[in-house]
Amino acid sequence: MSLSRRRFLRTAGVGALSVPLITQKSFAQPVPVAATKKPKRLGVGSVVGLITPASQVSSSDVNEVASKLRSMGLKVKFGKHVLDQYGYLGGQDHDRAADVNNMFADPDVDAILAVRGGWGCTRLFSFLDFDLIQQNPKIIMGYSDITSLLIAIYTRSNMVTFHGPVGTATWNSYTKHYVNDILFEGNRSVFSNQIPVTTSPTRVKTIRSGMAEGILLGGNLSVLSGMLGSPYVPSDWSDKILYLEDVDEDIYRVDRMLTHLKIAGVLSQVRGIVFGDCRSCNPNQSPALSLNDVLWDHLSILGVPAWYGSMIGHISNKFTVPNGVRARIDSVAGTIEMLEPAVL
């Protein structure tokens, strides 16, 4: 979680009390179905809906994102509240949630992209129509705080979601390659840390060697940790490959969040763990443990394949990782191999 988002959390209490009281729709826990629903793939002329479910953005941000998408042969539709502001949020909770619901309901929209992360997605859950979303499977993508929206939709609507770039991320050739491979071509991609020859390879650090198969699910560590105990995360992680990433976190906080996943029973259930990038995660105290110390303490004893350094997270070159798709991991090679396509 970024430093700015932590500051939001520390100051949000009073502001939250000023939100108007409106009726919230209550949804029962959905009945599990046999297969996770997959959205249709993208093509030239597909329409992408832009939303700001978390922090507020500027008109220049939105225009820049729209330009990027149009350069890829896509059309753009703007959420009604995409430029709203409510303090640090991209508008009132019910309005941001309405943009999510409306994009799924709109038959002209093929995919949904969050313009940026920050903080705020978890505040939307009681306003989201998960039944509507389940009936209209579409690509929805983002990372960082968008993790909570992706996991909630996977859990409550039984739909594949995509941990990939937000609109304001760096859409370089490496990142766009995986967007194209997964969302346009519908390939069963292999994610490995092979990057352009002009860039030094990202180092893969094996924590526990081995191979495993399971359903990919994960995202930002601090966001996922904060969702545990709610009905918006799976109660059963026994068939999951958990992937994690974070940014700007003190090492003791990474330790605390992994401990939370441990005592909540998540780490003891999963079939394998991939820890992506933890940019600017530093001890910031003395004496201290290193990030390696904390990861090895928690993950090496689990008896499942685990490694650190996959290109997932707050970095320029990033994978587009589908939640809800079966994959095979190799913690020595540092690879994630999709065993099925993520789109139809």
Report which residue type is found at 252.
Y
* CB 191 within 8 Å of CB 335: yes
* Catalytic residue status for 245: yes
- Of residues 144, 157, 192, 310, which has the active-site annotation? 144
Task: Give first-to-last CA distance, the chain, whole Å.
Answer: 32
- Of residues 163, 260, 298, 314, which has the active-site annotation? 314
| HEC per residue, the chain | CCHHHHHHHHHHHHHHHCCCCCCCCCCCCCCCCCCCECCCCCCCCCEEEEECCCECCCHHHHHHHHHHHHHCCCEEEECCCCCCCECCECCCHHHHHHHHHHHHHCCCCCEEEECCCCCCHHHHHHHCCHHHHHHCCCEEEECCCHHHHHHHHHHHHCECEEECCCCCCCCCHHHHHHHHHHHHCCCCCEECCCCCCCCCCCCCEEEECCEEEEEEEEEEHHHHHHHCCCCCCCCCCCCEEEEEEEECCCHHHHHHHHHHHHHCCCCCCCCEEEEEEEECCCCCCCCCCCHHHHHHHHHCCCCCCEEECCCCCCCCCCCCEEECCEEEEECCCCEEEECCCCCC
- Of residues 245, 249, 260, 331, which has the active-site annotation? 245
Distance CA 107, CA 156 (A): 21
Instruction: Locate 183 and state its tokens.
Output: 């969302």
* Catalytic residue status for 144: yes
- CA-wise closest residue to 312 among 247, 262, 256: 247
* Catalytic residue status for 163: no
Catalytic residues: 144, 245, 314
